[in-house]
Chains A and B, each alone.
Chain A
């Protein structure tokens, strides 16, 4: 991938900052999401909670669905491909998707290698649980990172853990001396150049969003206060009783994430949130896919 293209792709992620990216499974849901203030939508056949419930192999969405969603909205449209499935990614690029999520939510197609994302013009976002995973995905060409969290659970604990870990590792790396950086690059299994960037700039070289288990305005604001630059909301919206109202509330909570009075008002009478599954009740751990 030429350098200019990578800059443009990192740039699109910057435009999404302070926003909410919502999972949608139909053109009508996409319109509701756009109307509620989503800064992008993720086109999916099934939201993570249903993927979890259905079991079996989950794959890239049908291009027909993706096209319908692209035609329904004017905001960027993202779609997921399986980890390592570079042909699904080629298909999504052919569909002119705005962002590909090489995602652990789908069944991995390759248990060793991720996609060489530098070969694509279209941008990629990837999940990460720690700084090592984040920098490895960036080295492979990802132009945006999100926490993995544990998708489809409505439980924010893993996203919190991943965001805290990444940021605490960034703080640690920032405080190292140069000779210690060589060793740290080896320990984390990451490129020295990318680690040096983190050391110097005290942040990732790309935008970092929170994802996985975010279900309420307070969850979203929590992730923002922990340092996320925006949030993905998957099952949390369309698995709740009043998707439009909840989506609007989450959008405003992300903009004003430190204003507790406003968040209180936004949380008022939202109807039932998605039911949720606790960490120790989960059978399928998606975050362990692709490290």
Chain B
């Protein structure tokens, strides 16, 4: 099995380290040519405007969108969630638009609004949730299942092969969500 982590910008090493600790090969995807024989994909945190732009500049956008739509198991955190979202509040342009949700960027405000909490994520009890200038989900469409809410706001969803999170599991030592991705990929 081989997991690919989008490595155009942001906190991708943290994801890679976890996947490797779980005993699975993980490759950094910086260009189209890196995208070979991938069984699962991680879209990491970072700045969604930068990542979205680089997907186009580096000619990876269509390939990524097609692969995700064709069922490639995908875990997206924070900026990654924004890349997947079909709709983004106060913004005309979306990115990959494979996940039928509406997200609000910087929904908790600037860095002073960042916080850490714990909540259930689907069947995973008491999962540590690190929110950094995080988005949350304001609306879900079609058969999206809500996995987690914090203060009534949706912060984790699953839709077919895609898991979208507002928070950063890669910044904790709880690997259960990454294990979930490996199960989906395996």
List residues of chain A with CB under 8 Å of any chain B CB: 4, 7-9, 11-12, 14-19, 34, 37-40, 70, 74-77, 93, 96-99, 121-123, 248, 251-252, 254-256, 259, 262
Closest to B113 in A: A96
Tell whether, in the assembled complex, residue A19 and residue B133 are in contact, meaning their CB atoms are under 8 Å apart.
no
Tell whether, in the assembled complex, residue A74 and residue B49 are in contact, meaning their CB atoms are under 8 Å apart.
yes
Pick the contact of B30: A38, A70, A99, A256 (CB < 8 A).
A256
Segment 1-24 of B: residues with Cβ below 8 Å from A: 7-14
* B123 within 8 Å of A (CB atoms): no
* B25 within 8 Å of A (CB atoms): no
Question: What chain B residues lie within 8 Å of A252 (beta carbons)?
Answer: 54, 57-58
**Minimum CB–CB distance for A68 against chain B, Å:** 15
* B111 within 8 Å of A (CB atoms): yes
A-B contact count (CB 8 A): 115
Closest to A99 in B: B111
Knowing A37-B53, A74-B49, A256-B31, the reply to whether A8 touches B11 (Cβ < 8 A) is: no
Knowing A39-B9, A99-B111, the reply to whether A75 touches B47 (Cβ < 8 A) is: yes
**Minimum CB–CB distance for B60 against chain A, Å:** 11
Please report the C-alpha to C-alpha distance between residue A254 and residue B7 in the assembled complex, in whole angstroms.
11
Please report the C-alpha to C-alpha distance between residue A203 and residue B121 in the assembled complex, in whole angstroms.
33
Mask: chain B, 77-113; 1 = CB below 8 Å from A; 0 = not: 0110000000000000000000000000110011110
13 additional contacts (CB under 8 A) given A255-B9, A256-B31: A8-B111, A11-B114, A11-B130, A15-B132, A17-B10, A17-B46, A19-B10, A37-B49, A96-B112, A251-B54, A252-B57, A256-B30, A256-B58
Knowing A98-B111, A121-B112, the reply to whether A15 touches B10 (Cβ < 8 A) is: yes
Please report the C-alpha to C-alpha distance between residue A121 and residue B14 in the assembled complex, in whole angstroms.
24
Tell whether, in the assembled complex, residue A11 and residue B168 are in contact, meaning their CB atoms are under 8 Å apart.
yes
Question: What chain A residues lie within 8 Å of B57 (beta carbons)?
Answer: 37, 248, 252
Tell whether, in the assembled complex, residue A18 and residue B111 are in contact, meaning their CB atoms are under 8 Å apart.
no
Tell whether, in the assembled complex, residue A14 and residue B111 are in contact, meaning their CB atoms are under 8 Å apart.
no
Question: What chain A residues lie within 8 Å of B64 (beta carbons)?
Answer: none
Pick the contact of A4: B49, B111, B116, B133 (CB < 8 A).
B116
Tell whether, in the assembled complex, residue B31 and residue A259 are in contact, meaning their CB atoms are under 8 Å apart.
yes
**Minimum CB–CB distance for B88 against chain A, Å:** 10
Tell whether, in the assembled complex, residue B111 and residue A123 are in contact, meaning their CB atoms are under 8 Å apart.
yes
Tell whether, in the assembled complex, residue A12 and residue B132 are in contact, meaning their CB atoms are under 8 Å apart.
yes
Closest to A248 in B: B57
Question: What chain B residues lie within 8 Å of A39 (beta carbons)?
Answer: 9-10, 46-47, 50
Question: What chain A residues lie within 8 Å of B141 (beta carbons)?
Answer: none
Closest to B105 in A: A74
Question: What chain A residues lie within 8 Å of B106 (beta carbons)?
Answer: 74
Question: What chain B residues lie within 8 Å of A259 (beta carbons)?
Answer: 30-31
Please report the C-alpha to C-alpha distance between residue A96 and residue B106 in the assembled complex, in whole angstroms.
13
